[in-house]
Structure 1
C-alpha cells in the first residue's frame, strides 16, 4: 500500500504546483478506495477538489495503476475534527482556539498566537482568575492538535 500512496503523492504534487493547495494525507482502503485529503491556505473549495479529482482520476487510469480499472477516488479537505498534521496547517489556524494533547502531561486549550520552526505559542487562561499566559509547546512534544469549533 505504501508504494501506491507514494505514487499517488508523486502524481498529485504536479497538479498542485502554482496553487496554494497542499497534501495533508492519503489513505487507501483494501477495496482500492483512494482518499486524498488536501488543504489550501485560502480555503479548499468544492470546485478545486473536483478539478484535482478529475485530473488525478484520468492520470491514474492512463497509467493503469489498477489494471482492472477497479478503484475509486475521493478528494476532499480533512474534517473539522481531524488533527493538524503539518506546520502549514498550524499557520493557517493562527488566532483560532486549539486543544493540544501532549505526548506527556495535561491537554492545553488556548488560542494559537504564533508558529515557529520548532514550536507553537499558545495563549492559555490559567487559574480561577483566568490569567492569560503564553505557553511554548515544541512540535516534538505534541501528540495531537485539534482546532476547536466555538459558537
Structure 2
C-alpha cells in the first residue's frame, strides 16, 4: 500500500512536534515555480509562541536534513500556527475555540453563527446572538449536524470586564 509524501512526512515529523508539546495540525507540500514549499501548521491548547515555533522549526529542519524525505531538490520549510479564521475539524479544535464566535454550515443546509460555550463528546452548547435588540438564545448542536465550522474574527467584542462595568 503506497502512502503519499504528506503521510510519510507526517509519520516522520509528528513525533518531533509532539515532543515540543505541540500538535501537528497540517502538512502541505506546494510547488512555487521551481521551488517546493513544505508548510507545517502546529498548535496547542494554549497556542504556540514564537520561541516554540522557532524550536520546532529547527528540530524539523534538522530531521529533514538527515533524511531524504523531501528528495534532492531545494525546498523551503515554513512552520506556523493556524490562522485567525481557522477551520475546526477535530474535537480539540472545538475545545480550543470555546468562547469564540463560529460560523457553522449545517448538514441539513443553512448557516448558523454562534459562540461556543461548552464542548463535550457529543456536541456543543452554543449562544446564538440576538438580532435587533433581542437577547441571545442557547442552542445545542451535535457534531453530526455540522458540515463545516470556521472561527470568525471579532474586532469589537467586549470582554467580560467591560460588560460587567456596563451592567453595574
TM-score class, shorter-chain normalisation, is 0.7 to 0.9
What CA distance in whole angstroms lies between the structure 2 residues aligned with 1:87 and 1:129? 33
Deviations 1:84-117 (Å, cap 9, x if unpaired)? 2221111112112111111332211111011121
TM-score scaled by length of structure 2: 0.78
**Structure 1 residue corresponding to 2:64, chosen from 60, 66, 89:** 60
Q: Which has the larger radius of gyration?
A: 2
2:113 aligned residue: 109
Deviations 1:30-87 (Å, cap 9, x if unpaired)? 3431111111111111121111111111111211223424222111011112312221
1:21 aligns with 2:22: yes
Which of structure 1's runs of 4+ aligned residues deviate more than 6 A? none
TM-score scaled by length of structure 1: 0.86
Structure 2: gaps spanning 5 or more residues: 157-168
What CA distance in whole angstroms lies between the structure 1 residues aligned with 2:24 and 2:91? 12
What CA distance in whole angstroms lies between the structure 2 residues aligned with 1:18 and 1:28? 23
Q: How many residues of Structure 1 are paired with residues of Structure 2 in the alignment?
A: 151
1:144 aligned residue: 148
What CA distance in whole angstroms lies between the structure 2 residues aligned with 1:89 and 1:108? 18
SS of the residue 1:17 aligns to: helix
